[in-house]
Every structure is written in structure tokens, then in C-alpha cells.
Amino acid sequence: MILDQYKINGISDELKGYSPTDAAKFKDPNHYPDFQRELMDFQSLVTDCVARNKNKSFLRLSDGDYHFLKRNPAGSACPGKRALSIPYSQVDTDVYLESLDRNDFFGLPVFDSFTKEGFSKDFPQFTKNFTLEFLYGLLSSKWFFNQPNFKVGLIGGENKIKVIQELAKRKEYRDYLGIDKFYDYISVPEKFACDDLNALDIHVESRLKKSTANIFLFGVGHVKLYLSSRFKDFREAVYLDVGTGIDALAGIQEYERPYFSNWQNFRLKNVDYSRIDMMQSSLNGKEIWLD
């Protein structure tokens, strides 16, 4: 387990998703002594942006994003697997870099040395403004849903968004999150969203212009590198990249993900989960199944 110093609103972690070297950092009080102070500063920043109706985007940068920008066919950045169906020879990554540069705040991990060092070396313009792990812990602790002035909307893969919409009709699920409702649901293709950015722009713009939320939590894969700053062009709001947090809301969270070892997955008995991009999620008996 991690030191109290690294807990987020009481949420701990079993460190199953980290290498032994990175996991040891969670037990070292000197690795990140300002963790709690910066967490409070981050919460205040997000709250202030929403209260002042600012048009801001907060973007996480992960190892998969690094591989995508470097055109390395590895993991989720491998063509044909998730983000792309076309080879990198047909992808203009400069378009992504230009759009990426228009984001307001960047989150890099402080416990994952590969990602932090890779971006520092090859993309130093995207320096850390906040700690990536904050977004995981604040969603897992349901902090976003307990702020009185937050009208939360969601942006995610189409099948996951459909499942969340259905789950949100169930009182047990809403009570667990502490919400009455989500204000908007906006979907993007679950796979190969990077293939046609023009079509994606048209689709997302049409949905956002009709939306009513003042803060959006999104998890859209590597297409976020292009799309996250475009959100602000379509509608003024606060946009936070919670990544795998959308999987948690859809009831398919991997418990090995940082700060999600105690998350409760809710699933629906009448849903065919084989149609959903499950990432590495699998059943482990902890799920609550709803009619």
C-alpha cells in the first residue's frame, strides 16, 4: 500500500500496475514531498476555472501518447489495434502536435519514469503543470461529482457512453457516484478515431454546441492529442482528460490501474460487453450486476 502522503481524498492503491522500481516511489516520502499541497492547489484551480466559466483544457500525457507522437507502433499506439487502422505513413503527426500545443495544462506522471523522461527529452514544450495521478484519484474518490457547482458532462467511446447512459438510469449506480445525473453524453468512435479527423470535428462540434455542462470529463484514447484543444473551439467549458476514468464509469475498470483498486464496477445484465473495447478488463467477482 502507499504512504498516506500519496493518498488522494483517502483513496489508496495496491500498486499492482507499477514496476517494482516505480512502486517503491509510493513508499518513499522524499520522492514527492509536495504531493498533498499540489493536489489541493489542483483542486482549487479546477474549481476556480468552473466558477469563472473559463474555457480550459487539462490533458494527461501517457506512455501510449509518447509512442503515438514518436510514431512507434507499440501498445495502444500500434496501427490496427485501437487509435488507427492506417499506417503512420498516412498520418501527419504535426497536426496533433500543433493542436496539442493549444491545451492549457499538461499532466505527466510522477511515479512512471518512462513517460516523464520520454516527454522531457523529446517533447519538452509539454512540461508538467499538474500530476497525472491527481485525475485518477479525484475520479475514483468521486470528488468531481460532489462539487455543488459542477454540471458534469462526459465524452468517451460510443459503446462505453451508451452503457454509462443506461447505468445512470439506475438509482444504485447514481447513489454510488453521488449524482442526480450527467448533463451531457458525447461519443466518439471507440476504435480508429484518428482515421478521419475532419469527420470527427463535425460530429463533436454538433454535439457540443447543444450541450449544457460546464465541466466535461473525457477519455477518448490517442485522438485526444488532436481533439482536446478543439473542444474549446466548439464550446466554452472546462475539459479534463480522465482517461481510464471513463472505463470506471462504464463498469469495466481494471483494478490494477492507479488509484482504482477499490473502485466498484457496476455492470448491466442485458448488455453484450463483447461489443465494447474492454482494454485489459476482466471479471473478478467484485462486480455488481444490475437489471
What's the rounded Cα separation, in Å, for the pair 253 and 284?
Answer: 11
Instruction: Give the pLDDT band (50/70/90) at residue 7.
Output: very high
pLDDT band per the 50, 70, 90 thresholds, residue 280: low
Least confident of 5-19, 46-60, 270-284: 270-284
222: closest CA among 114, 90, 63, 41?
63
Query: What mean pLDDT comes out for the span 125-143?
Result: 95
Q: For 221-265, what is each residue's pLDDT tens digit? A: 999 999 999 999 999 999 999 999 999 999 999 888 889 989 999
The arithmetic mean of pLDDT across residues 91-107, rounded, is 96
Q: What single string gives the DSSP state of each residue in the chain?
A: ---GGG-BTTB----TTS-HHHHHHTT-TTT-TTHHHHHHHHHHHHHHHHHTT--EEEEE--HHHHHHHTT---GGGSTTTSS-SS-GGG--HHHHHHHHTT-SEEEE-SS-HHHHHHHHHH-TTS--SEEHHHHHHHHHTTGGGG-TT--EEEEEEHHHHHHHHHHTTSHHHHHHHT-S--SEEEEE-SS-GGG-HHHHHHHHHHHHTT---SEEEEE-GGGHHHHHHHHHHHS-SEEEE-TTHHHHHTT---TTSTT-TT---EEETT--GGGS--TT----S--EEE-
Segments making up each domain of the chain, as ranges = 4-290
Per residue in 42-64, pLDDT (tens digit) is: 999 999 999 999 999 999 999 99
pLDDT for 114 equals 85
pLDDT digits (tens, 9 = 90+) for 152-163: 999 999 999 999
- Identify the pLDDT of residue 252: 95
